[in-house]
Amino acid sequence: MRRKLAAGNWKMNGTLTSVTEVMTLCATHKDPGVDLLICPPATMIRTLGTATTDHAMHIGGQDCHAQASGAHTGDIAARMLADAGATHVILGHSERRADHGETSADVHAKALAAHDANLTAVICIGETLAQREAGETLDVVTAQLHDSTPDSATSDTTVIAYEPVWAIGTGKVPTLEQIGEVHAALRIALTSRFGQDGDAFRILYGGSVKGSNAAEIFAVPDVDGALVGGASLKAEDFSPIITALENA
């Protein structure tokens, strides 16, 4: 059985005052039946890592550089994230691909760096609205999966997150059938490439997940959790999603 994962991507939100939200989550879910992950801004990783030492909560980064060190002003290396207390790192989020021109080859290189630093890579893939409407969704996401994921990836070192670009932060959610179709295709691609271990990779869904729709999304086969954006910033919003996943 794949252990489910509820992951929160805070993006460019949160300051030290937000620590109380994480501690509230820890108090509410003292012995969670799923894995929990919060990916705050890099400025908060050390603080949250220290604050959650006695809880099952994992802390992650939102990006890393492909190189271990060097003249890369403003970037952060995977080993630096690990040194600060991170256990995971989000890679290839659509906002990185769109805003920073990151390609799947870039994500592939970053995933190798993450694995070298003993970080679990959460590799994001997803189609735009234009690609969805053109009927290209499965071709796009399976190509991104193939090109972004190293051959050396395993279910222990890598998590896949499907996030349709057009559903992120928009309130729009694909139908359950659409989510199921994509997750099934990703599972087939993973098992075809990685054999038996391909069935152990966790595939998260992301894109306007909230307490009111989480349960039905988690009931879709091969949805092993969620990568949550805005709804992960407040404990009162994220906690119902965690509970829904625990009950899935």
Whether 129 contacts 103, CB under 8 Å: no
Catalytic positions, written as ranges: 93, 163
- Supply the DSSP symbol for 197: G
User: What residues have CB less than 8 Å from 100, skipping those under 6 apart?
Assistant: none
Check residue 195 and give left, alpha or beta (phi > 0: left; psi -120 to 50: alpha): left
Element (H, E) at 226: strand 225-228
110 and 61 Cβ atoms separated by less than 8 Å: no
Helix (H) or strand (E) holding 95: helix 94-99
Q: How far apart, in whole angstroms, are the C-alpha atoms of residue 115 and residue 56?
A: 21
Q: Which two tokens mark 45?
A: 């990783």
User: Can you tell me whether residue 151 is helix, strand or coil?
Assistant: coil
3-state secondary structure of 194: helix
Token pair listed for 115: 């694995």
Q: How far apart are CA 105 and CA 146, in angstroms?
A: 10
